[in-house]
Amino acid sequence: MSVARIPFVVLVPEISGSRDTYGGGDEYVVLEGHHLKPETASDTVIVFMHPIGGGAYLPMVRALAAAGHHVVYCNSRYRGVDSALIMEKVVQDLGACVTHVKERLGYAKVVLAGWSGGGSLSLYYQRQAEHPTVTHTPAGDPFDLASLGLVPADAIMLMAAHVSRHQTMTEWLDASILDERDPSVRDPELDLYDPANPNQPPYTAEFLERYAAAQIARNRRITAWVKAKLAALRAAGRPDEEFAFVVHGTMADPRWLDPSVDPNDRQPGVCYLGDPRTVNMSPVALARFTTLRSWLSQWSYDDAYGDGPRCAAGVTVPALVIGNTADDACTPSHTRRLYAAFTVADKTLHEIKGANHYYLGPDQRDHLAEAVAVTSGWLRERGFAPRTTA
């Protein structure tokens, strides 16, 4: 089926009083979007957004359009760079995109599609659109989501999604690092990549419990430092200033080395970014470069608002959750935690045997086809299917 890919932009008012991205004038930021429009006619559009974007050419995005669904992939203002990302601003961006597809593109119904980190974003958005409660960011800066008039979507689909950025990063955090200023200072019994560590796969339940507790404790130590730094800036009469810092060691999840932990069909010793030992200290890992306010908004275990399961509990629209059983980024516990959190009666769970995170590779074509078929059937049963003729 022929599919037109139509680029578009959305101007979003900068309401925070401070800028943390390039692009746009003093009063606006610019979002870049892709409108995938097949030959079929439809009053429904599937909207994708990820906090840092970059998924407009994902196999699932293209395959849904090729199957006749109208699809929009909209990048947030933080396209490719999350060092200063504020989740509340990303919710604003998603709201601007939803308004655009309804008012400018003419769609009557919107289905949110949350891929990977877009899952918790979509849930955070939908929860605030249905019942807005957030008036400030976790750092205490004014940001009233209720004033934005967020338009609720008509349904939500979670695809290869994790529970949240802050919980996921904490589960990947290197628990052995004891000094944030010097990551070489480590607890050798918690260093997953030290061959001299007596704790080796398969890990004992006692070790895993100790390791998880140390991960949470490290997150909370960083958060305590962040809050103290912000308080010091405010006490010094510099309340609008920021401070950038580095978080070392954020890809040290025991699951990457021990396939018996949260088991699925993934290959042990690798993660979705490659060799986890290398990625653990590389510049591309989660939260490597961040700021005080961004840490609290997207990475703080206790403070960030964009928590998938917590938001899912308040969502009232139909929900589809698709998990991939060879996923080396979002493992089965995340899929099932998200599904279990929905309280709406119309919820569906489907797991695709052998599918990896992105459906990339010649052996993934059948898995992608299954995902599209499941999604298409679910949409059709709820009145969101495209018409067969234009």
- Can you read off the two tokens belonging to residue 292? 């005080």
Per the CB < 8 A criterion, the answer to whether 18 and 240 are in contact is: yes
**pLDDT value for 388:** 62
Binned at pLDDT 50, 70 and 90, residue 25 comes out as low
Tokens of 168: 């996921």
Evaluate if residue 265 carries a pLDDT over 50.
Answer: yes
Q: What is the pLDDT of residue 210?
A: 98
With cut-offs at 50, 70 and 90, classify the pLDDT of residue 15: confident
The one-letter code for the residue type at 39 is: E
Estimate to the nearest angstrom the gap between the alpha carbon of 67 and the chain centroid: 25
Q: What percent of the chain has pLDDT over 90?
A: 94
Please provide the average confidence, as pLDDT, over all residues in the chain.
Answer: 95
Q: CA-based diameter of the chain, in Å?
A: 65
Indicate whether 181 pLDDT > 90.
yes
Euclidean distance between CA atoms 102 and 304, whole angstroms: 29
Which DSSP symbol is given to 146? Answer: G
- Domain 3-164+304-381: CATH superfamily, name plus number: Alpha/Beta hydrolase fold, catalytic domain (3.40.50.1820)
pLDDT value at residue 163: 97
Per-residue pLDDT band at 23 (split at 50, 70, 90): low
Q: For residue 389, is pLDDT > 70?
A: no
Domain boundaries along the sequence of the chain = 3-164+304-381, 168-299
pLDDT at 24: 59
Q: What is the 3-state secondary structure (H, E, C) of 259-272?
A: CCCCCCCCCCCCEC
Q: How many CB atoms lie within 10 A of CB 234?
A: 13
Predicted confidence band of residue 390 (pLDDT cuts 50, 70, 90): very low
Beta bridge partners of 3: 38
Q: Which whole number is the average pLDDT over 151-167?
A: 98
287 within 8 A of 78, measured Cβ to Cβ: no
Mean pLDDT, to the nearest integer, of 4-15?
A: 94
Q: Which residues pair with 157 in a beta bridge?
A: 113, 320
Residues 55-104: tens digit of each pLDDT? 999 999 999 999 999 999 999 999 999 999 999 999 999 999 999 999 99
